[in-house]
Structure 1
Amino acid sequence: MTTSNQESFNVLKVATLLAGPIIFLIVLNTLSIEGLNEGATPVIAIGAWMVIWWMAEAVPLPVTALLPLILFPLLEVFSTGEAAAPYASPIVFLFMGGFLIALAMEKRNLHKRIALNIIKLTGTDANGIILGFMLATAFLSMWISNTATSVMMLPIALSVVDLLDNTDADSSYRKGYRKFALCLMLGIAYAANIGGTTTIIGTPPNVVFVGYMQEFYQKEMAFGKWLFIGVPVCFTLLSVTYLMMTRVLFPHRLQKLAGSASLIEDKLKELGPMSKAERWVAVIFGLTAACWIFQSGINELLGGKYLDNTIVAMAGGVLMFVTPVSFNRHEYVLDWKSTERLPWGILLLFGGGLCLAKGMESTGIVQLVGDSIAGSGTISLWLLMLLLTGFMLFMTEIMSNVALTVIFVPVVLGIADSLGVNPLYLAIPVTLAASCAFMMPISTPPNAVVFSSGHIRMADMVKAGFLLNIISVIVLVLIGLSLVKWVYG
């Protein structure tokens, strides 16, 4: 970055940093809305400050999320205890437990073994390799961070791409090689984004939504039921994405990749046989996933509501710390030092979002916005879903999907309440859309990770991403709504 660019950046940074509190003071001292209680104006003012800082990323997102904890008690919206409660919501600990399990998988290389074996199963045909990487990436993103998954898959994919690099080949081969590399890189990013939609813990927007359902409706979203929506949506989007890239957008016409099978075998040999620690991680992960999926059946068998999503997640996380690998060395599957890599900021972001939403709901803001947008109630449910889902998806291209979900989902819930429809009909497709931004490197961390490979041009990502965005909106509205109605009635 040149000196002049750096100066311009610094000026913009200071401007956005000051804009938040300035707008807050203006709104706080001038806004008055009939029909709302006295606490509404401070909540709107704080929300405006947070939106500005979140959109401009003037400070780290989790820092912005701490504003309600400070300002709500000072402005007498909530007491300190009431403002702090959402930061310790069960949803925060649900995601924390999921993070701990993911950290253990990464520490013991179980995630890499799973990925390599999936890729091995799909064969050495060029499109088979792309499919294998996409399936492996999507499966891992169901359980661990899509960013971590992309970072892990990228060097393996680059090794495969290097096998094909032949600078002496004719122009036709070189063109096919570039398209293969492009498909492989985009496939990893897109599969990481799509895979996260499959489970409640797969991506932060899902967890934010589940938190709102508990906060607003005291409704717990069952892990197993979510799979009945997430799996078909993931399968459909993954299939469409693979076919569009390999058959329509970037057909490479390469066949069997010489050396790719031995490369995957070499990577597996580097891992060696499963260690005792890795086997324990696999067992605990399997037990945790089974308890999530069959939670209601287990509770019925035990004759009470003993398990919920949070208890299962934290039990799985704690087991990683107490399961011994070697008593002599005092070694356990996971040690506390590993939690330095736990994304604590995301947990604060959840808490801040839930606190802001609690303020918006308790002061009547959510209902007022919902009534205003719903209007006379004559708008078609399908059209409304299309507009809301499309807005969420395309806004995610330029704004953090977690922050956008925190801001926008309460509005969607308010609209649903105003129309008298099941809030899940609108909110689930909108929430899933937050993870389906495919156009820009800045849209999601996986997009940025693969863009850094040097095999993707901005024009190619925008071209593929725009078309897939449109397809995703249609899939989420048509298939998503049908599945939600089937699962939740």
Structure 2
Amino acid sequence: MDLVPQKLLHHLPHADPPPSPAACNPNIGKFVQEAKCGYAIILMALYWCTECMPLAVTALLPVVLFPMMGIMKAGDVSIEYLKDSNMLFIGGLLVAIAVENWNLHKRIALRVLLLVGVRPALLMMGFMIVSAFLSMWISNTATTAMMLPIAHAVLQQLKTTELQAEERDFQASGKDNVGFELESSQTKEPTTKEKIPDTKQELEAETYVCQISSDIEHESKMKAMEDKYDRLTKGMSLSVCYSASIGGTATLTGTTPNLILKGQMDKLFPGNGDVINFASWFGFAFPSMLLMLAISWLWLQFMFLGFNMKRSFGCGAKSDRDKEAYAVMRAEYKKLGRMKFAEVAVLIIFILLVLLWFFREPGFFTGWATVLFNQEDAYVSDGTVAILMSMLFFVIPSRMPTCSGYGCNEKGKTVKAPKALLTWKVVHERMPWNIILLLGGGFALAAGSEVSGLSVWLGSILTPLEKIPPFAISILLSLLVATFTECSSNTATTTLFLPILASMATAIKIHPLYVMLPCTIAASLAFMLPVATPPNAIAFSFGNLKVIDMVRAGFMLNIIGILCINLGINTWGYSMFDMGTFPQWANHTGSQP
């Protein structure tokens, strides 16, 4: 039954439909694209941090999510995965693979260690210098994996030699003590306070007590020696893995975050005039790397060796244990034999590549690229040079041409021509293809942030930071990135943070590199946990380390690294990149929504 008669319905007031959420709040629906892109970035960040999927597979998510969300077309997303920075990365890795393939890095390492000697402090310094230098050109993981076995072989020889010397001294002193006790008991004049043993049992008891005290002293010495070499092993293991991470910050190709910064700068600020290239990066990062390395050596020296300079550096002639440990390194070096033609060829190509990188567009004079090709815009990039030089490895033979042939292969057939310096089989086995996808995923995220307008929105949110002094912003953000990279890969960390930092810098009108550059290097300062980076994990398995050892040493090194980076950005970096002004190219981003 109707509660209200139909004839009375037209007299009741008509109820209006409820207003839509968009009508109540006009801002709803305004930031839909930004929210979609933010969701994709958060999802990828969670996947990268938890590693529930391989990092490279997570990096492919933009290919799926951005087209489905209507942010970017599939073709536009896919083209982001192979930029000039990827070419630079591939070329640099091909050079590193060639160096490793012909053991050139081991020859360099052993030669430097033979120069510095085997005294504890100098030995640690030598390993740190070699590890840092090698990781400037090859991966820090390969550097650590090669240097740690050498370090442990030298330390083991030092320990064995010192233990044998201590054992000889103990046995010699034992014989002397027995004879001395027997002689003194028979010839010593009696006094009122002494009682000369008058029986054979008393004499034997006194000799036994002396022997016991000698044994206790010997055991305490042996325990002290074990503790000393335990600390030395820990310190040497940490010095190798830390210096490998520090050394990678000095060159543009040394570690992946550096290349991510280069790619993001070219993507977000296409008119930047190639402000980041091999020469400019080296000019800024190399001095800060040296400073960081020196202070890190002092800190590790203090923690694990102490500051006994006479004992650590060793004054005077070399002891037998030093000579024997030195002989171990010399024997390892002799195993390599004389330099082969292939090693010389790889070394020449490597040196040529570095020189071409340096003098392409150094900034303080006209580079060879402009002189040869007369191009106002930099058509030739560092990636062009890297690919050109790495191609030579597949052309130049690994042996000198000869008329007598090249012997026989495993199947007994005559070899008519020697192999090239590199073969594709070797490259395929050693090339970390997953890093190329990680780089591409970062560029795709940056493009999505720009097209959707997320970067502009984040920049507006961070505008109140302009009230904080720029140097304080740089230090705080470096601390944040260094903390985040302890539980995430440095590649994922820089990929997530750099587009946000670029938007923030544009919004508060400070030079983008003032925050992007220190945060990029801070992403490589993963010193506190074994899982933070592969070199840490290798050192943890080699050096009988505990997590607390790595945390204690790494925490202070994180602080040292952040302070060194920010010292550089506020001194020589300030004048190199003209940090005091907001550049004109920073007003124009690469992609507009």
2: CA distance between counterparts of 1:301 and 1:425? 31
- Once the two structures are TM-superposed, the CA of residue 467 in structure 1 deviates from its matched residue by 1.1
2: CA distance between counterparts of 1:33 and 1:445? 46
> Where does structure 1 lack aligned partners over 5 or more consecutive residues?
1-31
Q: TM-score, normalised by structure 2?
A: 0.74
The correspondence of residues 249-288 of structure 1 with structure 2, limited to 5 A, is 250-251=305-306, 253-254=311-312, 255=314, 257-288=322-353
Q: Which has the higher helix share?
A: 1
* Matched-pair contact (CA < 8 Å) for 2:234–2:543: no
2: CA distance between counterparts of 1:458 and 1:433? 21
1:97 aligns with 2:91: yes
2: CA distance between counterparts of 1:352 and 1:231? 28
Could you say what the CA RMSD is over the residues aligned between the two structures, in angstroms? 1.9
Cα deviation code 1:275-332 (max 9, x no counterpart): 1111111011111111011112212432334631110111122111111224733410
1:379 aligns with 2:468: yes
2: CA distance between counterparts of 1:275 and 1:33? 70
The correspondence of residues 130-145 of structure 1 with structure 2, limited to 5 A, is 130-145=124-139
Give the match for residue 16 of structure 2: none
Amino acid at match of 2:565: L
Structure 1 residues 66 and 170, CA, compared in 2 at 3 Å: closer, same or farther?
same
1:443 aligns with 2:532: yes
The sequence identity of aligned pairs, in percent, is 36
* Matched-pair contact (CA < 8 Å) for 1:424–1:484: no
Amino acid at match of 2:264: Y
* Matched-pair contact (CA < 8 Å) for 1:429–1:481: no
> Where does structure 2 lack aligned partners over 5 or more consecutive residues?
1-25, 168-220, 362-366, 402-415, 579-593
1:419 aligns with 2:508: yes
Structure 1 residues 276 and 371, CA, compared in 2 at 3 Å: closer, same or farther?
same
- Once the two structures are TM-superposed, the CA of residue 33 in structure 1 deviates from its matched residue by 7.0
- Once the two structures are TM-superposed, the CA of residue 92 in structure 1 deviates from its matched residue by 0.8
Structure 1 residues 376 and 444, CA, compared in 2 at 3 Å: closer, same or farther?
closer
SS at match of 2:538: helix
Structure 1 residues 116 and 374, CA, compared in 2 at 3 Å: closer, same or farther?
farther
* Matched-pair contact (CA < 8 Å) for 2:369–2:380: yes
Candidates 244, 247, 255, aligned match of 2:302: 247
Candidates 433, 443, 457, aligned match of 1:354: 443
Give the match for residue 196 of structure 1: 248
Structure 1 residues 34 and 207, CA, compared in 2 at 3 Å: closer, same or farther?
farther
Give the match for residue 551 of structure 2: 462
SS at match of 2:91: helix
* Matched-pair contact (CA < 8 Å) for 1:223–1:293: yes
* Matched-pair contact (CA < 8 Å) for 2:233–2:543: no
Give the match for residue 575 of structure 2: 486
* Matched-pair contact (CA < 8 Å) for 1:353–1:407: yes
1:120 aligns with 2:193: no
1: CA distance between counterparts of 2:571 and 2:521? 14
2: CA distance between counterparts of 1:466 and 1:37? 40
* Matched-pair contact (CA < 8 Å) for 1:413–1:427: yes
Give the match for residue 518 of structure 2: 429
Amino acid at match of 2:382: N
1:51 aligns with 2:51: no
Candidates 66, 73, 77, aligned match of 2:67: 73
* Matched-pair contact (CA < 8 Å) for 2:249–2:285: yes
Give the match for residue 224 of structure 2: 172
SS at match of 2:234: helix
Is the deviation greater in 290-299 or in 158-167? 158-167
Aligned length, in residue pairs: 458
- Once the two structures are TM-superposed, the CA of residue 164 in structure 1 deviates from its matched residue by 2.5
1:222 aligns with 2:277: yes
* Matched-pair contact (CA < 8 Å) for 1:123–1:261: yes
Cα deviation code 1:440-489 (max 9, x no counterpart): 11111111111111432222111111111112111111223323212111
Is the deviation greater in 178-187 or in 342-351? 178-187
1: CA distance between counterparts of 2:479 and 2:572? 19
Give the match for residue 366 of structure 1: 455
Give the match for residue 588 of structure 2: none
Give the match for residue 210 of structure 1: 262
Structure 1 residues 323 and 37, CA, compared in 2 at 3 Å: closer, same or farther?
farther
2: CA distance between counterparts of 1:201 and 1:345? 16
Q: TM-score, normalised by structure 1?
A: 0.90
Amino acid at match of 2:577: Y
Give the match for residue 238 of structure 1: 293
SS at match of 2:398: strand
2: CA distance between counterparts of 1:454 and 1:195? 21
1:324 aligns with 2:397: yes
Give the match for residue 218 of structure 2: none
SS at match of 2:462: helix
SS at match of 1:441: coil
Amino acid at match of 1:42: K
* Matched-pair contact (CA < 8 Å) for 2:95–2:350: yes
* Matched-pair contact (CA < 8 Å) for 1:143–1:202: yes
1:311 aligns with 2:384: yes
Is the deviation greater in 266-275 or in 254-263? 254-263
* Matched-pair contact (CA < 8 Å) for 2:494–2:520: yes
Structure 1 residues 157 and 85, CA, compared in 2 at 3 Å: closer, same or farther?
same
Cα deviation code 1:392-444 (max 9, x no counterpart): 01111111111011001111111111111110111100100011121111111
Larger radius of gyration: 2
1: CA distance between counterparts of 2:140 and 2:521? 15
SS at match of 1:200: coil
Candidates 425, 435, 442, aligned match of 1:337: 425
Amino acid at match of 1:120: L
Amino acid at match of 1:341: R
Cα deviation code 1:155-203 (max 9, x no counterpart): 1111012113346652332222122211211110110000000001000
Give the match for residue 364 of structure 2: none
Is the deviation greater in 478-487 or in 404-413? 478-487
